[in-house]
Chains A and B, each alone.
Chain A
Amino acid sequence: MNFPINSSPHVLPITSVPIIMRHVLYALIPSTIVYVWYFGFGIFINMLIASIAALISEAIMLRIRNRPIKPSLADGSAIVTAILIAFSIPPLAPWWLPVLGASSAIVLAKHLYGGIGANIFNPAMVGYAILLLSFPVQMTHWIPPQIENLGFQNIDLWSTVLYSVTGSLPSNLNLDAITQATPLDIVKGGLKNGISINELRSGPLFSQLGGYGWEWINIFTAFGGVYLLYKGIIRWHIPVSLLTSITIFAALFYLYDPNQNLSPSFHLLSGATVLGAFFIATDPVSAAATNQGRLIYGASIGALTYAIRTWGGYPDGLAFAVLLMNLMVPLIDRFTTPKIYGQQQ
Chain B
Amino acid sequence: MATATVIFAGIAIVLAILLIVSSHYLSTTENEVIDKIESLLPRIQCAQCGYPGCRPYAAAIVTDKADINLCPPGGNETVRRLAKFLGSDFSPVTKYSTTANLNEIAFISEELCIGCNLCLRACPVDAIVGTHQSMHTVISDHCTGCRLCIPPCPVDCISLVSRNA
A–B: direct contact at CB < 8 Å = no
**Chain B residues at the A interface, C-beta cutoff of 8 Å:** none
**Chain A residues at the B interface, C-beta cutoff of 8 Å:** none
